[in-house]
């Protein structure tokens, strides 16, 4: 657990980047620091590994004051991922991943073996091990950045907008893969972003920060979306809270029906040889592409799939993409979240 | 053209060549040894860079012949005044390229290195200097070529080297001697430049990596 006790960062010119911040970030969870630029979220993150020293207050890592350990030793035990990747251009992918193990004195063989293992873990091909960062795409570089942070298996990961510079298509894939990875790794993650959707997708808890490092609300994403604590929070999250809430509900909780020969309103789903849905078809009508939802999808994905369907039904597939069935619109409606009550339960 | 001259004087030419190489390389080496700490000081303490660079630039503007003559007064004749002079001239190139190279290291790379637990000295040698190497190599090439051409000027104050061929050839009106001096000087400059380029390429494979 990372605990911030009354932490303040004041610059010599009097600017208060972070003021009297108290925050508990539980072990094994992703805590998102969400806010617009200049709200002090990055400053907060960088005080944890002492890239910035707080003016006052105390930061504890599992009960131990981070200021009490030699700073380079502290940092070798904390993974760090940043937006611009920060990979060493003069080192190969494997050498980049092996940086912290090397600092810790691992032998070459072990460094290499660990690097290869991590290259696979973050979804890259092992033949990339001996390439230089300049030979990789932005998304691949970020994957290497994550692998590098994980190399010495640190319990804590600090991530500062790690997917912010990746193009939107690949960003989504990276976010989902990171979420899956974290499910297995159970690191204590502090994740800085200004992207509400990213925060909702990844955060076990979200701290919404206002200018000056003030926490406007701290809690699980459902709570922030369903019951924003202030106008600031409501405004920051934006006008589509209801829709965002849908992305917190898993798709597999909604029952599907198998598509019989008659289909739905005359529409059936044509599958390819592997049983994967190819298109919605109806005699006499042009084919319509299928937006299929996998088991790790959300209610929001189902709704999207249903809207894209001429039969107004979402298409469910399994992990391999094989057709399972369809979810009619009215079934979806039954699973929509209830409107938030204005008064708290007694 | 008196081609027989070259045949008879080949030993002299080779002797001048080896002396030329010696003076140029010793100056280059001294230049590096002095530029390295100056460059590091200018890199670490930004305020020092301006004044340090200004000093090297002022020294660079002193005409070479005048500088050599001044140095003879201080250290006597021989190779020494030329070596000192060339060392001084190379500083402006070497210091500037080292500092600019180090400053061009991307801030996110330095940030990441620090965050991973590099201490300052190790970060300098393992991260910042290797990344600055292409700029340093570019500086070395310039300084090397500049040294080779300036060694010839040293012949005017009686130092050895290929410059003697121009002066003597001019005095006795012997074009083949002058041309030999010019051609060998150019060949030497090209050869040493190639050596530095080759060495630089070996040390920086990452600069040529293509997708």
The pLDDT assigned to B127 comes to 97
Residues near A182 by Cβ (< 8 Å), separated by ≥ 6? A30, A189, A202
Average pLDDT over residues A294-316: 91
The pLDDT assigned to A342 comes to 54
B210 touches chain A (CB under 8 A): yes
**Closest chain B residue to A148, measured at CA:** B116
Domain count, chain B: 1
Residues in chain B closer than 8 A to A140 (CB atoms): none
Residues in chain B closer than 8 A to A103 (CB atoms): 116-118
Domain containing residue B118:
11-202
CB contact under 8 A, B130 and A90: yes
Angle ∠(A208,A214,A220) on CA atoms, nearest 5: 30
| Inter-axis angle of helices B64-75 and B79-103, nearest 10 | 120
Could you tell me the pTM of the whole model? 0.85
Q: d(Cα A238, Cα B198) in Å, to the nearest integer?
A: 58
**Closest chain A residue to B118, measured at CA:** A72
Instruction: Note whether residue B210 is domain-resident.
Output: no
SS3 at position A336: coil
Of the candidate CATH numbers 3.40.50.300, 3.40.1190.20, 3.30.413.10, 1.20.1050.10, the domain formed by A2-246 belongs to 3.40.50.300
The pLDDT assigned to B210 comes to 77
Residues in chain B closer than 8 A to A87 (CB atoms): 109, 112
Instruction: Note whether residue B148 is domain-resident.
Output: yes
Model confidence band, residue A345 (pLDDT cutoffs 50, 70, 90): very low
The pLDDT assigned to A340 comes to 60
**Residues of chain B falling short of pLDDT 50:** none
pLDDT score of A129 more than 80: yes
Average pLDDT over residues A95-106: 97
Class of domain A253-334 as given by CATH: alpha beta
The pLDDT assigned to A341 comes to 58
Q: Which of residues 115-134 of B touch A (CB under 8 A)?
A: 115-119, 127, 130-131, 133
Q: What is the pLDDT of residues A137-182, one digit of tens each?
A: 999 999 999 999 999 999 999 999 999 988 888 898 899 999 999 9
The pLDDT assigned to A165 comes to 87
The pLDDT assigned to A346 comes to 37
Residues in chain A closer than 8 A to B119 (CB atoms): 72
The pLDDT assigned to B1 comes to 65
A271 touches chain B (CB under 8 A): no
DSSP secondary-structure letter at A338? Answer: P
The pLDDT assigned to B157 comes to 86
Residues in chain B closer than 8 A to A73 (CB atoms): 117
Instruction: Note whether residue B208 is domain-resident.
Output: no
Q: d(Cα A84, Cα A258) in Å, to the nearest integer?
A: 46
Q: Which CATH number characterizes residue B46's domain?
A: 1.10.3720.10
Q: Which of residues 116-135 of A touch B (CB under 8 A)?
A: 131-132, 134-135
Domain boundaries defined on chain A: 2-246, 253-334
Q: What is the pLDDT of residues A186-234, one digit of tens each?
A: 999 999 999 999 999 999 999 999 988 899 999 999 999 988 999 999 9
Average pLDDT over residues A96-108: 97
Optimal mutation site among B114, B115, B121, interface A, most CBs of chain A within 10 A: B115
Token pair for residue B87?
């060392």
Is the reported ipTM for this assembly greater than 0.90? Answer: no
Q: What is the pLDDT of residues A16-46, one digit of tens each?
A: 999 999 999 999 999 999 999 889 999 999 9
């Amino acid at each position: 657990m990372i605990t911030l006790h009354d932490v303040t960062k004041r610059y010599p010119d009097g600017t208060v980047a972070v003021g009297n911040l108290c925050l508990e970030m539980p072990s094994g969870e992703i805590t998102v620091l969400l806010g617009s630029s200049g709200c002090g979220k990055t400053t907060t993150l960088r005080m944890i590994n002492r890239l910035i020293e707080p003016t006052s207050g105390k930061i504890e890592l599992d009960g131990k004051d981070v200021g009490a350990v030699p700073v380079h030793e502290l940092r070798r035990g904390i993974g760090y991922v940043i937006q611009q990747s920060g990979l060493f251009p003069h080192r190969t992918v494997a050498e980049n991943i092996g940086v912290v193990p090397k600092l810790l004195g691992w032998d070459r063989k072990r460094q290499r073996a660990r690097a290869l293992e991590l290259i696979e873990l973050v979804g890259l091909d092992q033949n990339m091990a001996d390439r230089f960062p300049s030979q990789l795409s932005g998304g691949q570089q970020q994957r290497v950045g994550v692998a590098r942070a994980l190399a010495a298996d640190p319990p804590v990961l600090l991530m500062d907008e790690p997917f912010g510079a990746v193009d939107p298509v690949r960003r989504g894939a990276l976010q989902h893969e990171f979420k899956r990875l974290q499910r297995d790794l159970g690191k204590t993650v502090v994740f800085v972003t200004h992207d509400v959707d990213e925060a909702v997708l990844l955060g076990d808890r979200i701290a919404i920060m206002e200018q000056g490092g003030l926490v406007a609300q701290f809690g699980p994403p459902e709570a922030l979306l369903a019951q924003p604590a202030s106008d600031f929070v409501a405004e920051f999250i934006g006008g589509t809270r209801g829709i965002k809430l849908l992305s917190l509900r898993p798709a597999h909780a909604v029952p599907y029906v198998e598509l019989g020969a008659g289909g739905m309103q005359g529409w059936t789903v044509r599958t390819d040889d592997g049983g994967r849905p190819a298109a919605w078809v109806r005699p006499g009508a042009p084919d319509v592409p299928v937006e299929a939802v996998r088991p790790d999808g959300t209610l929001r994905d189902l709704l999207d799939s249903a809207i894209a369907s001429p039969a107004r039904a979402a298409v469910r597939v399994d992990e391999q993409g094989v057709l399972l069935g369809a979810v009619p619109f009215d079934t979806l409606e039954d699973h929509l979240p209830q409107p938030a009550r204005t008064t708290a339960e007694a | 053209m008196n081609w027989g001259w070259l045949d008879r004087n080949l030993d002299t030419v080779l002797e001048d060549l080896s002396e030329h190489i010696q003076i140029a390389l010793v100056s280059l080496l001294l230049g590096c040894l002095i530029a390295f700490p100056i460059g590091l000081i200018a890199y670490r303490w930004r305020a020092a860079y301006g004044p340090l660079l200004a000093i090297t630039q002022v020294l660079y503007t002193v005409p070479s012949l005048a500088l050599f003559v001044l140095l003879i007064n201080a250290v006597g004749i021989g190779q020494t005044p030329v070596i000192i002079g060339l060392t001084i001239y190379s500083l402006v190139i070497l210091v500037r390229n080292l500092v600019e190279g180090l400053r061009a290291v991307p801030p996110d790379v330095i940030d990441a290195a620090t965050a991973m637990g590099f201490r300052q000295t190790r970060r300098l040698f393992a991260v910042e200097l290797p990344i600055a190497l292409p700029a340093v190599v570019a500086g070395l090439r310039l300084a090397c070529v500049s040294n080779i051409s300036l060694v010839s000027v040293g012949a005017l104050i009686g130092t050895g080297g290929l410059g003697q061929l121009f002066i003597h050839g001019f005095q006795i009106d012997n074009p083949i001697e002058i041309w030999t001096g010019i051609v060998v000087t150019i060949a030497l400059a090209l050869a040493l430049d190639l050596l530095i380029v080759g060495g630089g390429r070996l040390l920086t494979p990452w600069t040529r990596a293509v997708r």
